[in-house]
Amino acid sequence: MRLTDFKVLTFDCYGTLIDWESGILSALRPLLVKTGGKVNDEAALAAFARHESALEKAQPGLNYRKLLAEAHRGLAKEWGVAGSDAEAERFGNSVPDWPAFSDSAAALAYLKQHYKLVILSNVDRASFAESNKKLGVVFDAICTAEDIGSYKPDKRNFDFALKTVKEKFGLAPKDILHTAQSLFHDHQTAKAIGLATNWIDRRMGKAGAGATTPVEGVKTDFHFPSMAAFVEAHRKG
């Protein structure tokens, strides 16, 4: 299997192209300060992962901005600190402030020359539109949880993306390389339905799973520490 075997890259965005962990921690900082240092950054990310995934499973039709606000309320309760509705709403609206990884825009510009680029993201359309401004590329298709009515790792999200690729480009699953950071949200389901996968392992060298739920035993077809490394491998053929 070679990177040049594919015609479409379906992309996760947050954690892969957008540095959601930095964005989440920055937006959570006022709440974390209230804990008096009892909750460190890695513990905060792990707690966020638990609340986010539980909400996505329990309320698959909930808009991501509202879901983030609910996660903020849950974290405040878990940490035993006071959190206001205004603070929760600010956290819910923080996605446009989350930064892009430094290599994302240049990598996407290069990859656009070789593939159709499709977003498969767990956010809402409005939030992604703001993030897209940081990525500097026009995606060929955008599939969000808001469009689908469920959140990854639900198979429905991947089925929606496959249908979109078939209808827009006339291409089959064998033409797709699913490119993502999260083993939980992305790779486990993509592999289960037979897609080739490309792990952009932004946490390589770090312990734990960060802002995602830990999973074991997921094998990916390609593995790079960054988008820049992915591009370099593609250049070499």
Pick the catalytic residue from 5, 12, 147, 221.
Answer: 12
Closest C-alpha to 7, from 159, 138, 113: 113
Instruction: Give Cα separations from 52 to 37, 64, 145, 173 (angstroms).
Output: 22, 10, 13, 29
Instruction: Give Cα separations from 237 to 5, 103, 192, 231 (angstroms).
Output: 10, 20, 27, 10
Q: With H, G, I as helix, E, B as strand and everything else as coil, classify residue 36.
A: coil
Q: How many CA atoms lie within 13 A of 80 on its CB side?
A: 5
Question: What tokens were used for 28?
Answer: 């959570």
Q: Is 12 a catalytic residue?
A: yes
What is the 3-state composition of the chain as percent helix, strand, coil, each rounded to the nearest 5? 50, 15, 35
What is the set of active-site residues?
12
